[in-house]
């Protein structure tokens, strides 16, 4: 559709848009915001949605058809547009914008805003109460850091508010009752506020990833104390240095020449993107975070990625001025530079980030598969236990016969794999060798045809076979499996409908399973599915038989005439209703008269 094909209020509004940066919002007939986007040029970007194109993705076409009105917000720079777009998406959650699938609440390390700050872990964020570092996607790292801080520094771990005023008024006495021995007793003036906060500043440096500078500062202090012959304090700093250097050795060192950059690697999978973020400070990866992104419409990759980058940097409060990414992203005046390296240390960093994204995708797929498999495996374990089988019945087949007093006899075989229907493996059979209503003989025929063929082809055999019926059908099944020398390879049981009795070969006493047990429900599902599949096939065969027999009863009408009649009138009922002139047009005057006279 061209812009002229849309309502006047939209086409006239779009034509008046300025060639400047801003944010646009599409609204549906109810006034709901369905999409929010940013643009360097509002006029060009918005107009592109309404310009006739043949290669537009169907999701985009659906969205555009729902646009009833639109609004725009002008901003000074493209970076302002990016910020505003991000905020509006979080506020309105539009239907067609990207969805960051991140429902986890990650832990943060907090340094409280008090005269004597505390350092603790939380999942609740209130940035007015302290300085937050994180979030940490690996909670083990959090507790490694907390343990490191407690080895290095004596800071208070009590939960009481500690200010100069509370100490002066004696309220700290409550704290002393709960004192757990980590701090030196700052509430009793055993440690100066300057010394205490100096330690807290070093903790902040570690949390910011600036360990190298902290180590250099501590080495300088140690040399000063040693020069002054203050060996006790020098030894304390040496102990701290050893702990810090051990921690730094465990960190991922990627390059000593790269100081403060953000790295974003990604992979695509249909309408999904997996984006990994690495935060590199002083050559060390101090944070890694991966998010799954659902692209709701056919948006350009660079637009999607720029939104995700901005959201993640905002989440982690990154102030890096350089962003390493694999595609060109042009966001003017953003205060950062985007680097697309082809070789060297930065390229290695980008490859590392892409590997993390790939690993995350594989893990997500594995989790989904494990959940599905574990559920079916538990069910099959229960079946194995209840039926006292030797192996898990991953492959189960069930048979059922259908006929009307021996007419149009058919049979059905349904196949379940991992506890679920495998419909592409279903088979139906026309009974060929049995005359009259003989279910036992019919069962022998279809089982012989089924398993002699599987045996001849070398195809996988089921672990469990279920026949719909009691002792008679089961005996027929056992007879055939013995003849094919498969009875020791396949377990076969029969299920009788009336009391849901389960029969085993050679045992006259049936097994009764609780009606609510998963094993019985699975067996009933197989039996009912076999009956449904068989009866549907039987009805089709019977209908064809009725059509053929009725037209066969008309003397002088051969196969070609019958084919012409059914092709033209589609069914016997329509042939019956047909007028003589209509029949004459189809098969000629003489045969038309014979058919008309027969039905009338």
The predicted-structure confidence for 55-67, as pLDDT tens digits, reads as follows: 566 777 788 888 8
| Range from 253-257, 521-525, 544-548 that averages highest in pLDDT | 521-525
Query: Among residues 209, 243, 270, which one ends one of the domains?
Result: 209
Please give the residue that has the higher pLDDT: either 451 or 302: 451
Domain match, 400 and 526 both = yes
- Asked, for residue 215, whether it belongs to a domain, the answer is no
Contact criterion met (CB below 8 Å) for 384 and 396: no
Please give the residue that has the higher pLDDT: either 153 or 219: 219
Nearest Cα residue to 276 out of 169, 354, 366, 339: 354
Domain match, 118 and 91 both = no
Express each pLDDT in 247-286 by its tens digit. Answer: 655 555 556 567 788 999 999 887 788 999 988 876 667 7
Our measurement of the distance from residue 364's CA atom to the centroid of its chain's CA atoms, rounded to an integer in Å, reads 7
Rounded to the nearest integer, the mean pLDDT of the chain is: 80
pLDDT band at 177 (very low <50, low <70, confident <90, very high): very low
Query: Among residues 69, 96, 123, which one ends one of the domains?
Result: 96
- Asked, for residue 386, whether it belongs to a domain, the answer is no
Contact criterion met (CB below 8 Å) for 136 and 106: yes
Evaluated on CA atoms 432, 433, 435, 440, the torsion sign reads negative
- Asked, for residue 484, whether it belongs to a domain, the answer is yes
Mean pLDDT of 304-322: 83
pLDDT band at 246 (very low <50, low <70, confident <90, very high): low
Express each pLDDT in 36-60 by its tens digit. Answer: 888 888 888 888 887 756 556 677 7
pLDDT band at 372 (very low <50, low <70, confident <90, very high): low
Which residues partner with 504 through β-bridges? 507
- Asked, for residue 287, whether it belongs to a domain, the answer is yes
**pLDDT of residue 113 exceeding 50:** yes
Please give the residue that has the higher pLDDT: either 119 or 298: 119
Whether a cis peptide bond, with omega within 30° of 0, leads into 135 is yes
Evaluated on CA atoms 495, 500, 504, 505, the torsion sign reads negative
Domain match, 144 and 192 both = yes
Query: Among residues 543, 574, 591, which one ends one of the domains?
Result: 543
Q: Which domain holds residue 314?
A: 260-362
Task: Count the neighbouring beta carbons within 10 Å of the beta carbon of residue 335.
Answer: 9
- Asked, for residue 381, whether it belongs to a domain, the answer is no
Domain match, 538 and 406 both = yes
pLDDT of amino acid 7:
56
Domain match, 539 and 584 both = no
- Asked, for residue 339, whether it belongs to a domain, the answer is yes
Domain match, 322 and 357 both = yes
pLDDT of amino acid 461:
92
Mean pLDDT of 95-123: 79
- Output phi, psi for 189, to 5 deg: 60, 30
Domain match, 534 and 409 both = yes
Domain match, 63 and 133 both = no
Domain match, 276 and 346 both = yes
Burial group, residue 128, by CB count within 10 angstroms (0-12, 13-18, 19+): exposed
Distance, CA of 373 to CA of 468 (rounded, Å): 28
Which H helix or E strand runs over 223? Answer: helix 211-227
Domain match, 469 and 491 both = yes
Contact criterion met (CB below 8 Å) for 525 and 518: no
pLDDT of amino acid 393:
93
Domain match, 539 and 465 both = yes
Overall domain count for the chain? 5
Domain match, 514 and 406 both = yes
Please give the residue that has the higher pLDDT: either 363 or 471: 471
CATH code, 25: 3.40.1440.10
Nearest Cα residue to 262 out of 316, 300, 204, 214: 316
Distance, CA of 199 to CA of 111 (rounded, Å): 12
- Asked, for residue 406, whether it belongs to a domain, the answer is yes
- Asked, for residue 447, whether it belongs to a domain, the answer is yes
95-99, 143-147, 528-532: lowest mean pLDDT where? 143-147
E strand map for 161-223: none
CATH code, 331: 3.30.420
Contact criterion met (CB below 8 Å) for 72 and 87: no
pLDDT of amino acid 319:
81
């Amino acid at each position: 559709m061209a812009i002229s094909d849309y309502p006047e209020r939209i086409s006239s509004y779009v034509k008046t848009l300025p060639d400047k940066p801003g944010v646009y919002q599409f609204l549906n007939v109810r006034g709901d915001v369905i999409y929010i986007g940013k643009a360097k040029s509002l006029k060009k970007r918005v107009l592109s949605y309404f310009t006739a194109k043949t290669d537009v993705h169907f999701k985009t076409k659906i969205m555009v058809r729902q646009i009833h009105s639109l609004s725009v917000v002008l901003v000074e720079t493209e970076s302002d547009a990016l910020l505003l777009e991000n905020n509006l998406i979080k506020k309105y959650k539009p239907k067609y914008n990207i969805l960051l699938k991140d429902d986890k609440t990650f832990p943060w390390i907090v340094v409280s805003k008090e005269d004597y700050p505390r350092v603790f872990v939380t999942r609740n964020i209130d940035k007015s109460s302290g300085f937050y570092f994180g979030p940490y996607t690996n909670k083990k790292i959090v507790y490694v850091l907390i343990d490191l801080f407690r080895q290095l520094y004596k800071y208070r771990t009590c939960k009481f508010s500690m200010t100069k005023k509370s100490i002066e008024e004696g309220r700290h006495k409550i704290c002393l009752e709960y004192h757990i021995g980590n701090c030196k007793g700052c509430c009793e003036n055993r440690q100066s506020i300057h010394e205490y906060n100096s330690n807290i500043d070093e903790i902040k440096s570690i949390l910011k990833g600036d360990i190298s500078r902290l180590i250099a500062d501590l080495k300088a202090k140690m040399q000063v104390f040693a020069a002054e012959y203050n060996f006790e304090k020098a030894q304390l700093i040496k102990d701290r240095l050893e702990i810090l250097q051990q921690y730094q050795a465990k960190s991922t060192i990627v390059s000593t020449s790269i100081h403060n950059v953000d790295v974003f690697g990604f992979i695509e999978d249909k309408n999904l993107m997996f984006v990994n973020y690495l935060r590199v400070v002083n050559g060390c990866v101090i944070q890694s975070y991966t998010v799954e992104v659902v692209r709701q419409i056919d948006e350009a990759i660079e637009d999607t990625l720029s939104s995700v980058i901005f959201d993640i940097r905002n989440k982690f409060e990154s102030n890096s001025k350089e962003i390493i990414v694999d595609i060109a992203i042009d966001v003017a005046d953003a205060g950062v530079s985007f680097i697309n390296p082809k070789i060297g240390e930065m390229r290695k960093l980008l490859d590392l980030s892409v590997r993390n994204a790939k690993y995350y995708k594989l893990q997500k797929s594995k989790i989904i598969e494990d959940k599905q498999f574990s559920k079916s495996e538990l069910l099959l374990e229960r079946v194995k236990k209840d039926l006292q089988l030797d192996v898990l019945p991953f492959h189960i087949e069930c048979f059922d016969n259908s006929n009307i007093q021996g007419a149009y006899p058919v049979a059905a075989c349904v196949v379940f794999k991992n506890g679920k229907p495998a419909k592409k493996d279903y088979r139906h059979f026309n009974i060929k060798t049995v005359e009259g209503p003989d279910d036992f003989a019919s069962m022998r025929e279809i089982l012989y045809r089924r398993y002699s063929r599987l045996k001849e082809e070398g195809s996988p055999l089921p672990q469990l076979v279920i026949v719909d019926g009691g002792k008679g059908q089961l005996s027929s099944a056992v007879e055939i499996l013995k003849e094919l020398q498969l009875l020791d390879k396949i377990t076969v049981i029969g299920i009788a409908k009336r009391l849901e009795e389960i029969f085993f070969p050679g045992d006259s006493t049936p097994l009764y399973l609780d009606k609510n047990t998963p094993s019985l429900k699975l067996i009933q599902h197989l039996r009912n599915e076999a009956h449904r599949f068989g009866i549907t096939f039987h009805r089709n065969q019977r209908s064809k038989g009725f059509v053929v027999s009725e037209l066969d009863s008309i003397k002088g009408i051969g196969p070609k005439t019958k084919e012409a009649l059914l092709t033209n009138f589609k069914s016997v009922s329509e042939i019956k209703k047909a007028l003589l002139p209509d029949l004459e047009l189809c098969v000629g005057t003489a045969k038309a008269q014979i058919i008309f006279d027969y039905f009338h």
